[in-house]
Amino acid sequence: MNLTNYHSHTLYCDGRAGMEDFIRFAVSRGFSSYGISSHAPLPFPTHWTMEWDRMDDYLSEFRRMKEKYAADIELAVGLEIDYLNEESNPSVARFRELPLDYRIGSVHLLSDSKGEVVDIDVSADVFRGIVDKHFNGDLDKVVHLYYDRLLRMVELGGFDILGHADKMHYNAAAYRPGLLDEPWYDDLIRDYFAEVVRKGYIVEINTKAFNTLGTFYPNERYFSLLKELGARVQVNSDSHFPERINSGRPEALEALKQAGFQTVAGWHDGVWIESVF
């Protein structure tokens, strides 16, 4: 089986184990390559992002791990960088100047009409409360804000992999069942993925929620569309625990196969190449 993963979080952010714990587990399970991608710093402190004063330690520890395990596995270092606004996103110079192998671009945060930043990467019940409190129950507005931010991030660039491309879909559909079948939402998704593919980003099939919620990000219903558009894809577990680095991967690869995919993008000899699975 194709065994790789490029989205994982260690104790440098909100992960639950050290960098070496993840790498050792990947080696023990026969992974051919593995990437560490801590949550990048934001302009304000959070419980889930790394701070800038730890960046040098993060990069130094990775260099030690890469040297130590050079005979066992190919390692790569990245960051998962949020689009927050025009001053804080993957394209800004401070992130682009870091000596990283790759960058994941993601959206976790929105701003309400008062400018308050709210986290939408939450449970469905908490999401419902956020929509009602911060957006007066206007789910359509929240959905458009989310995809507008993603599209702006796509336009600005500065990253290689699109992280959990439609992360909101589960919570939004829980808020209003049937949303994913509404024509306007389907049109929005199609236009969004067309632009992502046009720009050449790798689309991550994020398996983090598969074992708990039964869904991938993006939703499996869009795998055929991604194939039709000519997207490059890869399967990542977004793991915060070493023992979960392969969670959902076999199921995601099978779903991709059913949609017509035969390869996924992997990090080999310092570049992204397509590997048959």
Mean pLDDT value of segment 196-200: 98
Number of helical H runs and strand E runs in the chain: 10, 11
Q: Provide DSSP, 169-189.
A: HHHHHHHSTTGGGSHHHHHHH
Q: What is the mean pLDDT of residues 196-212?
A: 98
Average pLDDT, integer, range 255-268? 98
Res. 252: pLDDT tops 70? yes
Tell me: pLDDT of 1 over 80. Answer: no
pLDDT at 118: 97
Task: Report in angstroms the alpha-carbon separations of 176 from 55, 128, 137, 138.
Answer: 41, 10, 11, 11
pLDDT over 70 for what percent of the chain?
A: 100
84-128: pLDDT as tens digits: 999 999 999 999 999 999 999 999 999 999 999 999 999 999 999
Mean pLDDT of 20-34: 98
Cis peptide before 45 (omega within 30 of 0): no
Domain positions in the chain are: 4-276
pLDDT of residue 7: 98
Q: Tell me what pLDDT residue 211 has.
A: 97
Q: What is the mean pLDDT of the chain?
A: 97
pTM equals 0.97
Per-residue pLDDT band at 2 (split at 50, 70, 90): confident
Task: Report pLDDT for 85.
Answer: 97
| 181-193 residue pLDDT tens | 999 999 999 999 9
Q: Identify the CATH class of 4-276.
A: alpha beta
| Strand pairing category for 102-106 and 271-276 | unpaired
> Which two tokens mark 274?
């397509």
Q: What are phi and psi of 111, to 5 degrees?
A: -115, 135
Q: How far is CA 165 from CA 109, 140, 147, in A?
A: 14, 18, 9
As a whole number of angstroms, the distance between CA 148 and CA 156 comes to: 12
Taking phi over 0 as left and psi of -120 to 50 as alpha, with beta for the rest, 214 belongs to left
